[in-house]
């Protein structure tokens, strides 16, 4: 019996042999390249470094100190802005002009002294340190996840890194923000409340539910739901806060990082940067004035993008302190603002917002970036 014929046709060879024949002399496309393997390993090492507990604590400390420094700088303006946004009857006449801002601050100083301009600031610092610490360290973590290497660096990933960081921080610290706003909103001497008194007042507030018109509905009047009180009161306006966090925190970090890229362009880098002596492999450090410009630009962009939702949130937060205590939802509050003042109502106090947020953001990013350098992160 003759031996079987041996074919030289590669299509008749077993699949493994055919794969070896087809890939002889060239790289197997099914295997990752050496450069890709190195990039993946570097990205993994970068993420592991940023998830180290020491790194997290150091970035959190730098962020907390940055937030406290920035808020202390603008505390008097913050007090006036809250009074304007929430339509305080005593200060509504001052809205709409820079002279009104100065007059309002003068009246507060005459009535309560310098302490009046910093009313609620203790609650602010109590809130802002964990808020800023969580925001900055969360940004570093989300950025490491979404942007593991330079090839993934896109504006959209920067935007979402900042937005997720802002959402994370506000989830933890929002009750302290409500307390701070309520302390800052009080203007009458006889109505002064302590921190504990404000907490009890907010906790026990029950909204007044208006009954349906029984003359129209006849006997078929549905039972009114029991008004809620308790811890849920400390999250009044939370929905609008979350809705506003995407444009605010997202655009803030995006604008800062983008401005930092512009200021590090080779043509102007010799004038705007200094070498990072503690970490030569890191990007060069912006000079103090350049870092302040980048942070101020971030504040300008983020304030413009998020201000209408901030107005709605303030009105919801003080809902139990003014009017008939009828609790309004986000959409109903927005309609009320529109009905009272039109589209301009969503930008009441925006000038103060710029005057406050631009230096606040500039100082915040400056202290954070310098804090990271000093702490070796």
Q: Does residue 212 contact residue 285 with C-beta atoms inside 8 Å?
A: no
Interval 104-157: pLDDT, tens:
888 888 888 888 888 878 878 887 899 999 999 999 999 999 998 888 999 999
Residue 282 has a pLDDT of 76
Residue 201 has a pLDDT of 84
What is the C-alpha to C-alpha distance for residues 239 and 202, in angstroms, rounded to an integer? 18
Residue 13 has a pLDDT of 47
Q: Does residue 137 contact residue 63 with C-beta atoms inside 8 Å?
A: yes
Residue 161 has a pLDDT of 95
Residue 314 has a pLDDT of 76
Residue 174 has a pLDDT of 86
- 285-286 and 273-274 as β-strands: parallel, antiparallel, unpaired? antiparallel
Cα dihedral sign, 97-192-114-317:
negative
Residue 38 has a pLDDT of 54
Residue 69 has a pLDDT of 95
Q: Does residue 352 contact residue 84 with C-beta atoms inside 8 Å?
A: yes
Give the pTM.
0.69
Interval 47-104: pLDDT, tens:
777 888 999 999 999 999 999 999 999 888 878 777 776 666 566 666 666 667 778 8
End-to-end CA distance of the chain: 79
What is the C-alpha to C-alpha distance for residues 285 and 326, in angstroms, rounded to an integer? 52
| Mean pLDDT split into 10-residue runs, the chain, 377 residues | 49 46 48 54 66 92 96 84 68 64 80 81 84 95 92 93 93 82 65 76 70 44 49 78 83 96 94 83 89 96 87 72 56 84 82 84 96 89
């Amino acid at each position: 019996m003759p031996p079987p014929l041996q074919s030289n046709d590669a299509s008749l060879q077993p699949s493994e042999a055919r794969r070896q024949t087809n890939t002889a002399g060239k790289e197997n496309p099914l295997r990752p390249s050496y450069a890709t393997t190195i990039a993946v390993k570097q990205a993994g090492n970068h993420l592991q470094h940023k998830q180290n507990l020491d790194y997290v604590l150091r970035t959190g400390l730098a962020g907390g100190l940055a937030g406290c420094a920035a808020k202390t700088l603008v505390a008097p303006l913050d007090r006036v802005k809250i009074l304007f946004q929430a339509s305080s009857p005593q200060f509504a006449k001052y809205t709409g002009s820079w002279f009104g801002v100065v007059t309002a601050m003068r009246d507060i100083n005459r009535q309560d002294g310098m302490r009046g301009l910093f009313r609620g600031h203790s609650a602010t610092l109590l809130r802002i340190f964990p808020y800023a610490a969580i925001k900055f360290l969360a940004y570093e973590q989300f950025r490491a996840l979404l942007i593991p290497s330079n090839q993934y660096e896109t504006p959209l990933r920067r935007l979402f890194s900042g937005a997720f960081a802002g959402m994370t921080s506000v989830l933890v610290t929002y009750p302290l923000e409500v307390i701070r706003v309520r302390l800052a909103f009080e203007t009458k001497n006889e109505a002064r409340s302590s921190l504990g008194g404000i907490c009890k007042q907010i906790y026990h507030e029950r909204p007044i539910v208006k009954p349906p018109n029984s003359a129209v509905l006849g006997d078929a009047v549905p039972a009114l739901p029991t008004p809620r009180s308790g811890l849920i009161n400390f999250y009044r306006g939370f929905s609008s806060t979350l809705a506003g966090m995407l444009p605010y925190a997202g655009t803030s970090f995006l604008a800062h990082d983008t401005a930092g890229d512009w200021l590090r362009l080779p043509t102007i880098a010799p004038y705007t940067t200094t070498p990072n002596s503690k970490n030569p492999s890191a990007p060069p450090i912006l000079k103090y004035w350049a870092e302040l410009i980048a942070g101020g630009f971030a504040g300008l962009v983020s304030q413009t993008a998020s201000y209408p939702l901030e107005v709605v949130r303030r009105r919801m937060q003080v809902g139990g302190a003014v009017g008939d205590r009828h609790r309004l939802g986000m959409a109903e509050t927005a309609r009320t603002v529109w009905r009272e003042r039109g589209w301009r109502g969503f930008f009441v106090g925006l000038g103060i917002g710029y005057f406050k947020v631009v230096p606040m953001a500039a100082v915040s990013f400056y202290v954070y970036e310098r804090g990271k350098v000093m702490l070796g992160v």
